[in-house]
Structure 1
Amino acid sequence: MRRIAVVSDIHGNLAALEAVLTDIARRGADQIVNLGDICSGALYPRETADRLMALNLPSIRGNHERQVLTLPRDRMGLSDRHALDTLRPDQIDWLGSLPAQLRLTEDVLMVHGTPRSDVEYWMETVEPAGLRPATTAEIRARAEGVEATVVLCGHTHIPRIVQIDGGPLVVNPGSVGLPAYDDDRPFPHVVETGTPHARYAIIETREDGWSAQLLAVAYDWDEAARVARANGREDWARALGTGRV
């Protein structure tokens, strides 16, 4: 049996990350992997980067790493600007060294959004009316051409597990550091988990194949919300404290 802990979308929330790492140590895992969107946010980009650089986990970059590395500062959102203004050059270099995708084993593929895009939602669909769960056909179409038994994805911050008939087990562990947000692309929508817990997943293989478990961990989200508010991010403070936008 092999157990792999999966973290994603930490977004500079060091306290949530530490709580998740403690829970992983308590439950036991052979390995921890990181699916990106590591530092951008309203909290502690530099400290989060230092913690993860020291751990040297198998990691990929998310859309926020790409944006910090490539966009002009005046085109960045507030979270990316905070990361860019806070991170040291060696930390920026570390983010730049991360691959967009990583095949962890022959069975397991790590992506941020989907295999074709770091901003595509895999198990949710955005329409003019807002966000909804993706249909089975949509999820299967987004897996076209993928050769893996398990695909680990993040980006949407919504924990979900889907076994595609004749295809991979797709696992989104949810977000370690940000349980709710809003976005205007491709249409205005909100993403909410409804609670402030830090989220992660454990996947494991046994004789009958791979399985996955979604986990929620309590931490001092009121303090995290206080820091976000002190940094001028009332949107983050509300999301961190409630799991709602």
Structure 2
Amino acid sequence: MDVQGKLSDGAPGSSGSGAVAVLSDIHGVLPALEAVLEEPDVRAARRVVLTGDLLAGPLPRQTFDRLRALGDRAVWISGNADRELTAGRPDAAGDAVSAWAAGQLRLREKDFLRSLPAAVTREVAGLGPVLFCHATPRDDEEMVLVDSRPERWAEVLEGVPDAVRTVVCGHTHVPYVRFTHGRLVVNPGSVGMPYGRPGAHWALLGPDGGAVTLRHTPFDYDAACDRIARESDFPAAAEWADTYVRARHSAEEALAAFGPGDGRTARTAE
């Protein structure tokens, strides 16, 4: 994969001024997405960057339509779940809602997902060129966490152009900002499947001095769960919403589950 992606922001010669909102891991949770899109800073943002895993959830088509309504403001990036939705139905035993969602998407939606890049580089005021990806710049499933060891970060950032001093990723659903190997790494967390606390997590980049701000948008969780149960045809929609909209999994549980994926288990065993 070409980790350099595309370096532009709008029309040729654009200075890339204005804030950039980053939304990741929406997972077809339309009420959470709608709450974030109503935030004044998101409404005013020059760009809305979508860093993958957007539709694999209980309201996939409705979420797609809402995101497409953003028009040219939206910068779409593919995540592993988006890729899997277009490759045939995922294993129902491993991820029932994704397997179901794959069957709901129309051909035009799948074709659109197939066209998405794995990484995009955009100029952000105060930050310079920023590389946006889903998991890491080189892989859409690779695990890196806030407490991953420096050697692991060196591995996953290898090949990123020297001019890129900020990398924005997603995938693990836990927000953080970390400075490592001379680069700022930002994970906005998950809009639709947060770990640790309910509410939609996202990030705002620039324009004031290159500020990076992790944001949290609360909304009516009871109403969201009721809406998902009512509007989704996924057989377990009510149970799914109760688990993920209400964030019943802690951030500590997520880190424990994802930790072995960054190689720390193998390192401990040496």
- Give the TM-score band, short-chain normalised: 0.7 to 0.9
Deviations 1:140-170 (A, max 9, x none): 332122121211100001101112242x211
SS of residue matched to 1:104: strand
The one-letter amino acid of 2:193's match is L
Q: Which residue of 2 aligns with 1:127?
A: none
Q: Which residue of 2 aligns with 1:63?
A: 80
The one-letter amino acid of 2:205's match is I
Q: Matched residues in 2 for 1:169 and 1:15: separation? A: 31
The one-letter amino acid of 2:244's match is A
Once the two structures are aligned, what percentage of the paired residues are identical? Answer: 36
8 Å contact 1:9–1:37 — kept in the other structure? Answer: yes
8 Å contact 2:37–2:43 — kept in the other structure? Answer: no
Q: Matched residues in 1 for 2:50 and 2:204: separation? A: 12
Aligned pair count reads 220
Alpha-carbon distance, 1:227 to partner: 5.1
SS of residue matched to 1:177: coil
Q: Which residue of 2 aligns with 1:173?
A: 188
The one-letter amino acid of 2:187's match is N
Q: Which residue of 1 aligns with 2:116?
A: 98
Q: Which residue of 1 aligns with 2:148?
A: 134
Q: Matched residues in 1 for 2:221 and 2:197: separation? A: 10
The one-letter amino acid of 1:169's match is L
Structure 2 unmatched ranges of 5 or more: 1-16, 251-270
Q: How does 1:1-245 map to 2 (within 5 A)?
A: 2-25=18-41, 28-41=44-57, 43-56=58-71, 57-72=74-89, 77-105=95-123, 107-124=129-146, 133-147=147-161, 148-166=164-182, 168-179=183-194, 192=195, 194-206=196-208, 210-226=210-226, 231-233=235-237, 234-244=239-249
Task: Return the TM-score normalized by structure 2.
Answer: 0.73
Change (3 A) 1:123 1:215: same
8 Å contact 2:89–2:103 — kept in the other structure? Answer: no
Instruction: State which structure, 1 or 2, has the greater radius of gyration over its C-alpha atoms.
Output: 2
Q: Matched residues in 2 for 1:82 and 1:196: separation? A: 24
8 Å contact 1:5–1:24 — kept in the other structure? Answer: no
Task: Return the TM-score normalized by structure 1.
Answer: 0.80
Change (3 A) 1:175 1:24: farther
8 Å contact 2:23–2:188 — kept in the other structure? Answer: yes
The one-letter amino acid of 1:199's match is H
Moved more, 151-160 or 21-30: 21-30
The one-letter amino acid of 1:116's match is R
The one-letter amino acid of 1:23's match is E
Structure 1 unmatched ranges of 5 or more: 125-132, 180-191
Change (3 A) 1:24 1:32: farther
**Following superposition, which runs of at least 4 residues in structure 1 exceed 4 angstroms of deviation?**
24-27, 72-76, 227-230
Q: Which residue of 2 aligns with 1:187?
A: none
The one-letter amino acid of 2:67's match is L
The one-letter amino acid of 2:219's match is Y
Alpha-carbon distance, 1:2 to partner: 3.3
Change (3 A) 1:54 1:229: closer
Q: Matched residues in 2 for 1:73 and 1:116: separation? A: 22
8 Å contact 2:169–2:187 — kept in the other structure? Answer: yes
